[in-house]
Amino acid sequence: MGRLNIFGSGRSQSTLPNYIILILLALFAALPILLLVSNSLKSTSEIAASPFSVPREFLWSNYGEAFDKGNYAVTIRNSAILTISTIAGSLTVAGLAAYALSRLKLKGSNVLSFYFLVGIGVPAQLFIIPLFFMWKQLSLVNTHVGLIIIYTALQSPFATYLLRSYMLSIPEEFVDAAKIDGASDWQVFRHIIAPLTGPGFLTAGLVIGLFTWNEFLFAVTFLPEKEFKPVATSLYAFQGRFSRDWGLTNAGSVIMMAPVLILFLALQRRFIEGLTQGGLKA
């Protein structure tokens, strides 16, 4: 994935046309987001008058108002609970499974790997209906635990797949030395494999966190009650309620976007690697 120039070093073909089109594409991708941010700092009347100009004066009060009216103090807390718990749960469950699949030579582990790939492909709409009524029976609807269990189940196959490839690249000698010293499978996992898989856990954790923060379908279904809603579904309701107040809804959207954007720009290599290698669903 390096900076390979496929046109080689020989007779140089001009790259100017490349840059022109690439810049147009970049504007197409990024300009709308820039406009969202710029229009989150204007009054609604200024937005209507000049939607594409820089804000006359930065109306930061949109953010305070959006934060209060959008109930962000509660919804950010809800999203944080869901995100952190799902990351912790998925990495634990997936770390154990990836270790078993990559290192312990279990019979049938090929079948399991295949199943995980199939599992990623099963449409959510097939199981969401029975799952909802099952969760209703178990009183898990409108609880964070209920949704965390679902998210963990949904994310752990992908995380297993990713972690497994990291674990397979650890040289066998590291493990052999410990085994000669009489370490159990658990000790090998705990003291050798897991620490050496650190970058893998970070990459998988970022992807799982991103998924959980952004997720809509399961959140809107399993947490209908206002006080439990994460940012995504409460922002959806907020956008509907204040649909004429563009400054306010733009600011509310930027609040949800900001942490993702900052983290992505800081750790873009890991995000891109995680989302393109095993990231079949995002």
Among 145, 168, 262, 280, binds another protein (CB under 8 A): 280
CA dist 229 → 71, 82, 193, 205 (Å):
10, 10, 37, 22
Residues 157 to 186 in contact with another protein, rule: CB under 8 A = 157, 160, 184-186
Q: Is 22 an interacting residue with respect to another protein (CB under 8 A)?
A: yes
Among 197, 221, 228, 278, binds another protein (CB under 8 A): 221
Residues 231 to 250 in contact with another protein, rule: CB under 8 A = 232-233, 235-236, 239, 246, 249-250
Residue 82 or residue 154: which is nearer to another protein going by CB?
154
Our measurement of the distance from residue 222's CA atom to the centroid of its chain's CA atoms, rounded to an integer in Å, reads 19
Q: Is 187 an interacting residue with respect to another protein (CB under 8 A)?
A: no
The residue range among 67-75, 80-88, 114-122, 163-171 that interacts with another protein, by the rule CB under 8 A, is: 114-122
Among 84, 88, 128, 178, binds another protein (CB under 8 A): 128
Among 60, 104, 187, 262, binds another protein (CB under 8 A): 104
| DSSP structural state of residue 227 | G
Q: Is 150 an interacting residue with respect to another protein (CB under 8 A)?
A: yes
State the sign of the Cα–Cα–Cα–Cα dihedral 240, 241, 244, 249. negative
* Shortest reach from residue 64's CB to another protein, in Å: 19
Q: Is 4 an interacting residue with respect to another protein (CB under 8 A)?
A: yes
* Amino acid (one-letter) located at 8: G
The residue range among 68-76, 80-88, 146-154, 168-176 that interacts with another protein, by the rule CB under 8 A, is: 146-154
Tell me the Ramachandran region of residue 150: left when phi exceeds 0, alpha when psi lies from -120 to 50, beta otherwise. Answer: alpha
Q: Is 145 an interacting residue with respect to another protein (CB under 8 A)?
A: no
On whether the CB atoms of residues 26 and 240 are closer than 8 A, the answer is: no
d(CA 93, CA 108): 19
Q: Is 36 an interacting residue with respect to another protein (CB under 8 A)?
A: yes
Site track 44-83 with another protein (rule: CB under 8 A), x = hit: ---xx--xx-------------------------------
State the sign of the Cα–Cα–Cα–Cα dihedral 102, 105, 110, 115. negative
Among 68, 77, 92, 191, binds another protein (CB under 8 A): 92
3-state DSSP assignment of residue 8:
coil
Nearest partner of 86 among 164, 158, 155, judged by Cα:
155
Residues 6 or more apart in contact with residue 268 via CB below 8 angstroms: none
